[in-house]
Structure 1
């Protein structure tokens, strides 16, 4: 690519970052890294009425946790700063004035009441009111009043907006990297407001000016911005600037039914739609981090929402994603969100983790259970190694391993049917065998116990099922002799004796 790649993620700090926004950030990050470019974060906070305290910090923390921090942003490599739009507001008026001077924009003095009246009048006639070439010269604008009167009104403090003067009778043939050619008829577009008399630009003006001044080469954003593309391209043309290339990402769809994924879907089906937890006076919205997902999991499943590398491969590290990423392989149609598949992804990443890392994460859960004896870190690491294949999250470890830490106090009713009349005598014999073993390791215990059963022609089921029931309280858990090794000789014998008494 001839020009350096510079892409941006430009969220508004109006609340927590939706997972759809995270995917937009990720695709921008991957595209920048793939092409040796720069990924920057700009905070678009011109609408102060919707500003939510803490949202900006939340966005930064989420990207940091996911490992896709921007190369440039507030307080970091501020090559094109400020990176907060509210701190750039002194810039926008001059650009709005440039558009007025070149005849590409005009002042409009219509009051909200007057516009409402026009809308109602159109509705009564079965029409839709669009503020554009049809009526802009019949409304209260600088296109029909003199320059002098326009200047006097502005000087007297009358409220106004600056609107873009959309060209007439033009078909725009625009290129989108994902969608190919997209056509727009300028006669169907409205004259969008670019600047308000309170000195604040609208999204459209600020966005274009900032993307130009920050040398953005590609605009990669959600498909909800596709209808804004013609205005943005026309604004670049009106300024005499070269427009960036555009790519509009497909929507992330609900797991069930139609439409865009929302927080309501997550609340209803019990999965997060935010990367991190978000707390308000109304309550707490769960986050992927707090639910026990690994950041690598979230990156992996988000990357595959609307993109693939053309193979059946599903597991990608961030480095592999950068290597494989190509915008032309992003799909046009929406991608269904699959909470169950996301759990599967987390399981894949969980089993890859070092056992010591997982043991550290499991430790606080064990502490909260008030286990009577102290387990060494080595023992906990062994337990984790035995159970992790069955878990999606570290939070499930206790349920999968509680019997290592606490002797059963009751026995599964169905499994207890394996406890026959001859079982107590066999269990007493088994205790005698175990008492004689000095090398109390899984492989050795298994060899000796099985030799005893073979020698005495005792059926496997007659011993193994009651043995497991004694230790676990049910017919579940990892390899029986691994359990025996971890809990030790004394505890194993104690549990068998207790089962003999109770069963």
Structure 2
């Protein structure tokens, strides 16, 4: 039987990096086994679930490339199935109506706390048949009172929980809606889930869910409970550490390849290897190789990976993700060179795609102002003659290519008997608006001859205004 895994987020917020790593591990295991990956949206908490959060989860998964074989399946579409099985358990004496009010239960738990006991439901209605009419009730699962649950966890090893430690779980609320722990069990059974990969915060739910599965006569999947992710400061990752929503990483200019590579190494390793393509991850991934310790998020490492992928991925692949950032700046890519050509000369100069778009705007649109510091230093009256000379040389270039552009710049410097910097720096500021750019021959080559001449004229006007002010 090939593996069937699932990622089952609750749509009460955005897809965060902890959830994304769990989804990645679940996805990788299914792919490594030639199995199936299911996306299930656990939206039984109707009050807190939002359509915006549902869409954010889908957007995050698709941006990361974690495509699903089935889904998205929504639990709210399956209420009839849950009710059918709750009734079955009740008919078989494996579940029962409990008429205890929340106030009564709170009082009992308070008393238990004072005695130093673990707060729990005492089983008051477990075997009672004197049901009051018209009074609200919940339905509880009749948890076994003897024996123990054994979980052979892929990450944590053998976990044993005595049934005497577990109370009778509510599986249907007083309003008739099924609860999370019951829905999960039914879904995992109906969807043929063989391996459940999820966060360690679910360990307490697992023995309860196993007991319900067994009561239903359903097979029990294998489990792997992943440790939490900590921030750089060793505390649980949260908004104070910066971006925790997956789509915020996109907005900040990270490539999904970089984030995936970073997340897979937050708890899993293959020797000393740091860089993994998705195909390598699938080929090498093993649930049993995930570590038990919490992982610390290191933003510097993620930035390093992002730079690596910007520089080494095919420019067309980087361009597919970079386009979005140009759009955010209202830059029309139709007004300039192929984006792949710009990426080829800018990739070594940036850490993020956002930065790439910001420093490459001059290829596609005119700038209103020159960088103040660069203009102050390089667009002085003394730069007027070099700019006039180099403009003439560039306009005389017949075949516009890096070699001929460089020859024209060299010729202007030789004619004026000045160093290259006296021509090159004013030209750079004139054409790009700042003092930083790739080498002038390849930069100018991506702009038209006419555009270069137009921007030199703009710089000459700036110098003239500066002289007259």
Shared fold, TM over 0.5: yes
How far 1:178 moved relative to its partner?
A: 1.0
Match of 1:117 among 87, 107, 110: 107
Q: Structure 1 stretches of 5 or more lacking a match?
A: 76-80, 277-286
How far 1:37 moved relative to its partner?
A: 1.4
Structure 2: distance between partners of 1:57 and 1:469: 44
Q: Where does residue 221 of structure 1 map in the other structure?
A: 198
**Quick check: 2:331–2:361 contact (8 Å CA) kept in 1?**
no
User: Are 1:162 and 2:140 an aligned pair?
Assistant: yes
Q: Where does residue 48 of structure 1 map in the other structure?
A: 46
Taking the TM superposition and a 5 Å limit, the aligned residue runs for 1:421-500 are: 424-431=384-391, 433-434=393-394, 436-450=396-410, 453=413, 458-485=418-445, 486-488=447-449, 490-491=453-454, 493-495=456-458, 497-498=460-461
Taking the TM superposition and a 5 Å limit, the aligned residue runs for 1:29-178 are: 29-73=27-71, 84-97=77-90, 100=93, 107-131=97-121, 135-136=122-123, 140-143=124-127, 145=128, 150=129, 152-153=130-131, 157=135, 159-168=137-146, 170=147, 172-178=149-155
Q: Where does residue 254 of structure 1 map in the other structure?
A: 231
Match of 1:274 among 228, 231, 245: 245
Pick closer, same or farther for the CA change 1:455–1:27 going to 2, 3 Å.
same
Q: Where does residue 12 of structure 2 map in the other structure?
A: 14
Q: TM-score, normalising length from structure 2?
A: 0.81
Pick closer, same or farther for the CA change 1:377–1:208 going to 2, 3 Å.
same
**Quick check: 1:359–1:381 contact (8 Å CA) kept in 2?**
no
Q: TM-score, normalising length from structure 1?
A: 0.76
Structure 2: distance between partners of 1:114 and 1:250: 36
Q: Structure 2 stretches of 5 or more lacking a match?
A: none
How far 1:350 moved relative to its partner?
A: 4.1
Structure 1: distance between partners of 2:149 and 2:35: 29
Structure 2: distance between partners of 1:362 and 1:158: 55
**Quick check: 2:262–2:302 contact (8 Å CA) kept in 1?**
yes
**SS of residue paired to 2:204:** helix
**SS of residue paired to 2:152:** strand
**Quick check: 1:45–1:85 contact (8 Å CA) kept in 2?**
no
Aligned residues: 459
